[in-house]
Amino acid sequence: MSRTPRRYLSAAALISATLLVSGCLSNDPVEAESGDDDAAAAAAEPAGDNAEPGEDVVIGFSGPAAGHGWIGAITEGAQSQGEEFEDVELRVSEGTDDVNQQISQIEQFINDGVDAIVVLPFDGAALTEVATEAMEAGIPVVNVDREFSSPFAARTTILGDNYGMGVSAGEYICEQLGDQEDAVVAEIAGIDSLPLTQDRSEGFEQALSDCGLEVDNRVAADFTVAGGESATANLLQAAPEIDAIWNHDDDQGVGVLAAIENAGRDEFFMVGGAGSANMMREIESGDSVVEATVIYPATQAADGVRLARLLAQGRALGDLVQIEVPREIQLYAPVVTAENVDQYLPYAFES
């Protein structure tokens, strides 16, 4: 079983730059210390095809309970990636929303001496300490979606783009309504106390302002079907005329559509959020108020497993000149419409 060098905790690694899918930046090579000439020479070799088998590695994965379609897709994606590689043994802990239980899972991975850990924390701050313990034990940690509160807790972090989701949704609505100064725009948010919801709303508001629009009516749900239906019913009662709605979350969107149908309203179009198969089929049908949805990738844990494999094997991303796996990767938030739904539907999750 391989062991990851403690250089993952070096200052050079901590200040290495971010790889953004949209920006294509990469971090600078880490200079080898005196006496590490052989290791430096090996690290400088081209990364090659990342799909080629490497050293056998054991990767632990821990995530929240799959009570939400997107979370379920996250775990399924991780498992599928683990099965794809003959050189990976993926150990998947039972999904849990109990912080203490998830801490115990990470501690077990540390005790077992796994080669890498991928974790989507139920609470990033609460799992920061145990993730740091793993890093200090020489086990690279890949942090998925919900960030730890310390940069020392993860070697690599892979994120969706919540602010970008709002921007993408706002830009789409601007394209459709930008010449209508009196257009009424509504927003159905998730949980307002969460930073991710705040980021989505901020991006949405700023994108709308660029074309002279603003959010006229806004409600918050709770990322559940029942919450989406209740919040939308209240919204529709308060706003007799609407031109466009952005719903932050496609899982709660099932309830949103139920409320719209119950109210008999169809004078507006709706943009979804996250990219569920349900909403993509609505788009595909051509007879729904849903015209688009903004992707919040459910591939994050699958991508995390791929990155963990490369870290454990001492390899880099094959398509980069950079000889190290990037410190952070943020995935893009594209808009899915009738024009490109066929491209995204095969990768969508079920609400």
Residues of the chain with pLDDT under 70: 1-48
User: What are the tokens at 341?
Assistant: 């739904």
Quick one: pLDDT at residue 320? 87
Element (H or E) spanning 158, and its range? strand 156-159
Tell me phi and psi for residue 185, to 5 degrees: -115, 130
Q: DSSP string covering 286-338, please?
A: SSSSEEEEEE--TTHHHHHHHHHHHHHHT---TT-S-SS--SEEE---PEE-T
Quick one: pLDDT at residue 181? 86
Gyration radius (Cα) of the chain, Å: 22
Measuring CA to CA, how many Å separate 232 from each of 49, 148, 174, 200, 203?
Answer: 48, 33, 22, 18, 21
How many other CB atoms are found less than 10 A from the CB of residue 229? 21
Q: Distance between CA atoms of 74 and 89, rounded to whole angstroms? A: 18
Quick one: pLDDT at residue 331? 95
Sign of CA dihedral 189, 69, 161, 140: positive
Quick one: pLDDT at residue 176? 97
Element (H or E) spanning 201, and its range? helix 195-209
Q: Distance between CA atoms of 265 and 236, rounded to whole angstroms? A: 8
Q: Order of strands across the sheet with 335-336? A: 215-220, 185-189, 244-247, 269-274, 290-295, 335-336
Q: Which residue has the tokens 């683990």?
A: 82
Q: Which domains does the chain have, with CATH numbers?
A: 6-160+298-330 (3.40.50.2300), 162-296 (3.40.50.2300)
